[in-house]
Chain A
Amino acid sequence: NAGVTQTPKFQVLKTGQSMTLQCAQDMNHEYMSWYRQDPGMGLRLIHYSVGAGITDQGEVPNGYNVSRSTTEDFPLRLLSAAPSQTSVYFCASTNLGSNQPQHFGDGTRLSIL
């Protein structure tokens, strides 16, 4: 059971560089989301999607873009990385409207120098 797969697990970037964090799920979930976890702040919602072609902003969307071209994949793009984006990023998925818990990937630890 693959569940939610995130790649890469670790990445170091220089300020101003761009990169894409990958997220894929094999559970046919409609809903996918991205969170970031920072020390002392819990997890905060960046962007989410309720289906292919539909995305929306969460609590902390600035500096990030997303797209959802398929049900399975939900990549997160940093167009110009900043040190404030140093964090651990988690992708999650679930079915819509069923009060089902979200399934999380194991995270990507990103450092911006």
Chain B
Amino acid sequence: DQQVKQNSPSLSVQEGRISILNCDYTNSMFDYFLWYKKYPAEGPTFLISISSIKDKNEDGRFTVFLNKSAKHLSLHIVPSQPGDSAVYFCAADFGNEKLTFGTGTRLTIIP
């Protein structure tokens, strides 16, 4: 049973526009949520995180929103740049470093 779900396998966005990537989870005991970015033939790279006690975290062009009542988080990238083209993974843990990953969303930024 997939506890962390990314229902959009792919997303295409024009350069300069906002990219919104979504993630849903089923276990309300998750304590910490992260987004990772992955290029081909490389390992995942940490992008941004949010604790369950917060509803928003911002870092430059990247903002993560957490809606605990809906068990939903989203990653906003604005403005989108060609270098943002990658696979994005949502992940969650119970505060014990054991990550549960979603299946990923491939983001393509169209110049």
Contacts and interface: CB of A to CB of B under 8 A. Distances in A.
B43 A4 contact: yes
10 contacts: A31-B97, A35-B101, A42-B103, A92-B43, A94-B97, A99-B51, A101-B34, A104-B43, A104-B45, A107-B43
A43 B99 contact: yes
Interface string A50-68: 1000000010000000000
Interface of B: 4, 32, 34, 36, 41-46, 49, 51, 89, 91, 95, 97-104
Contact of B43 (A40, A42, A48, A90): A90
Q: Interface on chain A toward B: helix, strand, loop, or mixed SS?
A: strand
A106 interface: yes
A105 B104 CA distance: 18
Interface residues of A, number: 25
Given A43-B44, A105-B43, A99 B98 contact: no
